[in-house]
Amino acid sequence: MSKGWNRPFEDSIVLPDGRELLTLKNAADYIMKLPKAEQKHEKWQTAVEVLIIAAEGRGPLMHARIGSLQALNRNVEGVFKTGEKTTHWAKRKLARDR
């Protein structure tokens, strides 16, 4: 198993431009290339913390991946369907109503 900054993510992180972050080092390099104002955002600060913790072997690699994904997708709004629920028991008929 790789150690330190060369540890690979179990699943890569796909960036908006299609590039992929494969290791902790890739993610750290990406963050360091962001504008300073962007780097200071709370979500990126959290991502940096969990990347360091994972690189030092003090925490799970998955937390580093999740922190990075949350920072990348912080402006993405989730879309949920709010239509009518269709379940097989929704309009059950009683025997007397048949």
The residues spanned by each domain of the chain are 8-13+20-72
The pLDDT assigned to 4 comes to 93
The pLDDT assigned to 92 comes to 65
Integer Cα distance of 53 and 49 in angstroms:
6
63-89: per-residue pLDDT in tens?
999 999 999 998 887 776 666 666 666
Query: Helix, strand or coil for residue 53?
Result: helix
DSSP run (H or E) holding 26 = helix 24-32
Integer Cα distance of 94 and 24 in angstroms:
60
Q: Are strands 8-14 and 20-23 parallel, antiparallel or unpaired?
A: antiparallel
4-44: per-residue pLDDT in tens?
999 999 999 999 999 999 999 999 999 999 999 999 999 99
pTM across the whole model: 0.75
Task: Show the tokens assigned to 2.
Answer: 């790789």
